[in-house]
Chain A
């Protein structure tokens, strides 16, 4: 049980040899007594307290009185001197706790926020993708009719793959969501059916077993599966015997042949397994079914530009060779790097965040600079006195430097803690739309950079007053009414300039936040075409074993609808195949009666959705003309269809489409009669346009539109809070069929919020920065006004003695603050104009330099500045003229 080694060593350094035994021994003895009595922590604290108050200089002096002079090693002397300075520096900082705390917190926040945000940006945008030479990986997309890009068809994929001059290999894939067997509750997993080229293209080897070969990827071959690390751990407990086992998918046992390494996630972390695509390469599916995603690895010396031009000519040739598919809209191929595909959507938002945090760091440093300059002012006298008493300028500088370094170090250490917390928490707060957050870690470079910046600021601005003070002859400072007028005005300009800069930066941040807030509010006010309040949604996947054919599935969904609609608290219920705001609709071609198109290339196409009766009412999607579906629209009833407004105006302009007919673009399928027109829905997001769509009754779909979809999403409109009914609805569905998989239970409001996830994330962070920036600017204004009042006490005293009233003094002080604020505001608006281009992609329904928001920011700033200046201004009015005029 010996005292802390560091404290002991320090004691040895500080205490002269004659006292070491006595003092050190006493402390050791007391420590040994304290530990059992008061616990180890208190004992350690008491020990340290004594070390800190050891009074080495006094001990040395008293020792010299008693015994002969003791030799102090120069190094030891330096340590004692430094220790003494450090102690007095810390004491001085503690004597102005608000000031010091503010400086430390400002620096900490600057360092912490900058590092955390940068680490996220680095992890998401800059970090290379975890594949072999990832910049050689490209993604191809096709577009044939509209301005939307989608996947390729099987023949198109085969065409791409045949271009060995461009690609080393091309892989194709699509998603499936089979039900995983052998689990307590049936659940679906996301599986990628991918061609065998996928693994060579990505260049990642399995950690166990192997990946599948081209042989296993032929049509008719038995399925095999490669599983993810996570699935291996969760479902098989990481057992090494997994290669002898199979995965039960949709009641089929698929042998496992390999396990991918930890962290391998293609195309995203949701995918748990990979199965061969098994295309019939000799007889590929129709050229107009664009359902395959493609990814390729460019040949070694192929550049992106050359690849693009090569594929453009490929597309042009295909247009000529297959006019029946491409006549109407042509065929375009888009080639992007994989990185662009993965992070392209969030890049804008993340870069804006980075800019914002950079502004914040600058504000933080400027604030600290100002605080340190202010402290420097206060200590000019003390430094002058010390200089007059013979202190060397080196010693004086060290005195001041130690204090500001202590501040900077404290801020830096706290900042590191904040950065670490931020990097842990930010990925959790980030919405699902921000990719790659799993791998985010603290970026040591940025941490080092911001720490260095903070330290330099502390040193530079702590040093400045010390240097000027050390160079000023003490007589100037000590003289009555002195304070170096000329140097004072230069200093005053510097301080005011710094505050103006702070204000300008804060304005830029606040304006940015304001514009984003307005955009966000606009988005929530957009009419999406549906009513999102009081709606509960659940995704239902009936087990294929329980419901083998289409009529079965239809019956099950109908049962669910009727049962749920009858529950207390439920206003209405229905099911839909693609829930709005969750993306991913299928676009199919159709044939209008009387306007037969020769080829599918000429035929119209639009997004299709399958719904049950009760859906439109439950979703609050109004029927504009005609009727909604009813229970009478069964499989054996006449086929019907409902179209959206924009589909009506697009293909039946100026006429009433009710009663007209069309069918899917395939022979032998019946014509459906249009019985209703429904309001457009912004299906892909409230900030995107609505696309034309057609709705087919789920009960009839397998007779009129290829198949009745599953899974379907149950939509329930509730009388009260939707989340309150979630449990009841779940149980009711379970009661009908215990084997059905129920997922994604959330309210429509949640769905809306999730679709706006990235925006909300960006907005929250920038708003937080703006608030901090405004606060810091406020502090800056307060500081500079208070200092101005303090240095002009005499002048104010004279004015008041000469008859000036309190009101005029108040006016003049506040006026000074407003002048400063105006300068800052002007600078800030100019800065915002320069930066507004960065916000272009993020705003909605408002311009980046929106005049209304600018005015609001100006008013806010003025009010804040007046508030900050009020304290010192009032104090100025209470200056006692006699006291002010008295000689110092």
Chain B
């Protein structure tokens, strides 16, 4: 299974949160508002395309609207493989955080329990 990078995780989580409204500009806005990560739209699309290549998300074209100058919107949704990867990543993080207080030091000395 592919491991996800941090930005990839954040983008997929944004797609999940947005549900039907998950398209480029909205994902960018969600990242900025919730995760306080400012990235360019180009970066968002690069990430989404890579995720799509790995089979983590799928995309489809919506209808063109006049507000977009007649251009179609590309929507995204998380695939089952993507959900699985997200969960794996979250568990891995949780295991690493276990036993650590907020400051990063082990609560019981320098060796963490595995």
Contacts and interface: CB of A to CB of B under 8 A. Distances in A.
A23 B72 contact: no
Contact of A65 (B25, B45, B53, B61): B53
Contacts of A149: none
B45 A25 contact: no
B84 interface: no
Contacts of A28: 67-69, 71
A68 interface: no
A59 B42 contact: yes
A576 B64 CA distance: 89
Nearest to B26: A26
Contacts of B64: 21, 25
B53 A22 contact: no
Interface in B27-80: 40-43, 45-46, 49-50, 52-53, 61, 64-65, 67-69, 71-74
A59 B49 CA distance: 8
Contacts of B52: 66
Contact of B46 (A24, A27, A62): A62
A26 B49 contact: no
A58 interface: yes
Contact of A22 (B40, B45, B50): B45
Given A23-B24, A27-B25, A53 B74 contact: no
Interface residues of A, number: 27
Contacts of A25: 64-65, 68-69, 71-73
A15 B50 CA distance: 16
Contacts of A27: 25, 41
Nearest to B69: A28
A2 B69 contact: yes
Interface string A28-58: 1110100000000000000001100111101
B40 A50 contact: yes
A385 to B, nearest CB: 26
**Most chain B Cβ neighbours within 10 Å, of A26, A28, A29, A53:** A26
A63 interface: yes
Q: Is the interface of B mostly helix, strand, loop or mixed?
A: helix
A24 B24 contact: no
Contacts of B46: 55, 58-59, 62
A26 B73 contact: yes
B49 A62 contact: yes
Given A62-B50, A65-B50, A22 B42 contact: no
B48 to A, nearest CB: 9
B42 A26 contact: no
Given A21-B72, A21-B74, A22-B72, A55 B40 contact: yes
A19 interface: yes
Contacts of A23: 24, 41-42, 45
Which interface residue of A19, A23, A25, A28 has the most chain B CB atoms within 10 A? A25
A23 B44 CA distance: 10
A55 B40 CA distance: 9
B46 to A, nearest CB: 5
Interface in A1-28: 2, 15, 19-28
Contact of A54 (B40, B72, B73): B40
A65 B49 contact: yes
A22 B24 contact: yes
Interface in A472-486: none
A2 B71 CA distance: 13
Contacts of B23: 22, 26
B71 A24 contact: yes
B40 A26 contact: no
Interface of A is mostly: helix
Given A22-B73, A66-B53, A29 B42 contact: no
Contacts of B65: 25, 29
Given A21-B72, A22-B72, A30 B25 contact: yes
A20 B64 CA distance: 13
A65 B50 CA distance: 7
A15 to B, nearest CB: 8
Nearest to B28: A26
Interface string A55-75: 110110011011000000000
Interface in A282-328: none
Contacts of A53: 40-43
A32 B72 contact: no
A21 B53 contact: no
B75 to A, nearest CB: 9
Nearest to B41: A50
B55 to A, nearest CB: 11
Contacts of A59: 42, 45-46, 49
Nearest to A21: B71
Given A21-B74, A50-B42, A59-B45, A26 B53 contact: no
Contacts of A26: 23-25, 41, 68, 73
B53 A29 contact: no
Interface in B61-107: 61, 64-65, 67-69, 71-74
A66 B49 contact: yes
Contacts of B71: 20-22, 24-25, 28
A24 B71 CA distance: 8
A5 to B, nearest CB: 12
B20 to A, nearest CB: 16
A90 to B, nearest CB: 16
A24 B69 contact: yes
Contacts of A66: 49, 52-53
Contacts of B67: 28-29, 32
Contacts of A20: 71
Contacts of B42: 15, 23, 50, 53-56, 58-59
A22 B69 contact: no
Contacts of A2: 69
Contacts of B53: 62, 65-66
A295 B63 CA distance: 84
Contacts of B61: 21
A2 B64 CA distance: 16
A22 B50 CA distance: 16
B45 A19 contact: yes
B56 to A, nearest CB: 12
6 contacts: A26-B73, A29-B25, A49-B40, A54-B40, A56-B42, A66-B52
6 A-B pairs with the lowest CB-CB distances in the bound complex, closest first: A25-B71, A25-B68, A53-B40, A55-B42, A22-B74, A65-B53
Given A24-B71, A53-B40, 11 more contacts: A21-B71, A21-B74, A22-B23, A22-B74, A25-B65, A27-B41, A28-B67, A28-B69, A29-B67, A29-B68, A62-B49
